[in-house]
Structure 1
Amino acid sequence: VLKRCRATLTRLQAPDYTDVSIELLGAESQFGALRHSDPSREVVAKIAVRHSDSRAVALFLKEATGLGLATPPGLSGFAGARPKPSPVMALFSYVTPKDQVQVRLRDDVGELDYAPAIGQLTVAADSVQPPNTPPAPRTVEVPLIELAWARSGDKGDIANIGVMARAPELMPWIWAAMTSEHLLRVFGHFLEGDVADRIERFYLPGSAAMNILLHGALGGGGTSSLRNDPQAKGYAQLLLAAPVAVDADLLALLRGENDVSH
Structure 2
Amino acid sequence: MAPEKTVRIGCASAFWGDSVSAFEQLVTLEGKKLDYIVADYLAEVTMGLLARHRTSGGGAKKESRAGQGGYVADFITFVWKRLCEDIVANGTKIVTNAGGLSPLALKEAIETIAKENGIEGLVVAAVTGDDLHERAEELNAKGELLPFNYITGNKDEVDRYPGKERKNLSLNAYLGALPIKEALDAGASIVVTGRVVDSALVLGPLLHEFKWNPLTDWDQMAGASLAGHIIECGCQTTGGNFTDWELIANSPHGGYANMGFPIVECHANGDFVVTKPAETGGLVTVGTVTEQLVYEILDPGSYILPDVILDLRNVKVTQVGKDRVAVTGAKGRAPTPYVKCSGIFVDGFKFTADLWIGGVDARRKALAVGEAVVKRGRANLERYGIEDFTDVRIEALGSESTYGPHSTALDAREVCCRITAVHPNKQGLLLLGVELAPSATGNAPGITGGGAGRPHPSPNLTHYSILAPKAALPATVTIGSGDKMTIKTVPFLGPTDAKNEFPPAIAAAPLPAGNASGETVTIPLIRIAYARSGDKGDTSNIGVIARDPKFYPYINQQLTETSVKQYMGHLAKGAVARYELPGIQALNFVLTRSLGGGGLSSLNLDRQGKSYGQMLLSFKVKVPKGLLASL
**Compared CA separation, residues 125 and 93, structure 1 to 2 (3 A):** closer
Partner AA of 1:81 in structure 2: G
* TM superposition score normalised by structure 1: 0.85
| 1:82-97 equivalence runs, <5 A | 82-97=454-469
Aligned to 2:269: none
Bigger mean CA deviation after superposition, 66-75 or 198-207: 66-75
Partner AA of 1:40 in structure 2: A
Q: Does 1:137 align with 2:518?
A: yes
| Residue pair 1:54, 1:85 contacting (<8 A) in 2 also | yes
Deviation of the 1:11 alpha carbon: 4.1
**Compared CA separation, residues 128 and 190, structure 1 to 2 (3 A):** same
Aligned to 1:124: 502
Which of 1 and 2 has higher RCO (CA within 8 Å, sep 6+)? Answer: 1
Q: Does 1:212 align with 2:607?
A: no
Indicate the SS of the match to 2:445.
Answer: coil
| Separation in structure 2 between the aligned mates of residue 23 and residue 72 of structure 1, nearest angstrom | 16
| 1:142-181 equivalence runs, <5 A | 142-181=523-562
| Separation in structure 1 between the aligned mates of residue 541 and residue 499 of structure 2, nearest angstrom | 25
| Separation in structure 2 between the aligned mates of residue 43 and residue 100 of structure 1, nearest angstrom | 52
Aligned to 2:610: 233
Q: Does 1:249 align with 2:626?
A: yes
Deviation of the 1:29 alpha carbon: 1.3
Aligned to 1:258: none
* TM superposition score normalised by structure 2: 0.37
Indicate the SS of the match to 1:49.
Answer: strand
Deviation of the 1:115 alpha carbon: 4.5
**Compared CA separation, residues 56 and 240, structure 1 to 2 (3 A):** same
| Separation in structure 1 between the aligned mates of residue 454 and residue 461 of structure 2, nearest angstrom | 21
Deviation of the 1:49 alpha carbon: 0.5
Q: Does 1:59 align with 2:435?
A: no
Q: Does 1:76 align with 2:448?
A: yes
Deviation of the 1:30 alpha carbon: 1.3
**Compared CA separation, residues 111 and 240, structure 1 to 2 (3 A):** closer
Identify which of 585, 598, 601 aligns with 1:224: 601
Identify unmatched segments of 5+ residues in structure 1: 256-262
Q: Does 1:182 align with 2:563?
A: yes
Identify which of 24, 37, 40 aligns with 2:396: 24
Partner AA of 1:65 in structure 2: A
**Compared CA separation, residues 67 and 181, structure 1 to 2 (3 A):** farther
Deviation of the 1:209 alpha carbon: 1.0
| Residue pair 2:545, 2:586 contacting (<8 A) in 1 also | yes
Indicate the SS of the match to 1:173.
Answer: helix
Bigger mean CA deviation after superposition, 148-157 or 173-182: 173-182
| Separation in structure 2 between the aligned mates of residue 171 and residue 100 of structure 1, nearest angstrom | 45
| Residue pair 1:130, 1:171 contacting (<8 A) in 2 also | no
Deviation of the 1:111 alpha carbon: 5.7
Cα root mean square deviation, aligned: 2.3
| Separation in structure 2 between the aligned mates of residue 171 and residue 122 of structure 1, nearest angstrom | 31
| Residue pair 2:437, 2:450 contacting (<8 A) in 1 also | no
Deviation of the 1:225 alpha carbon: 1.3
Deviation of the 1:27 alpha carbon: 1.2
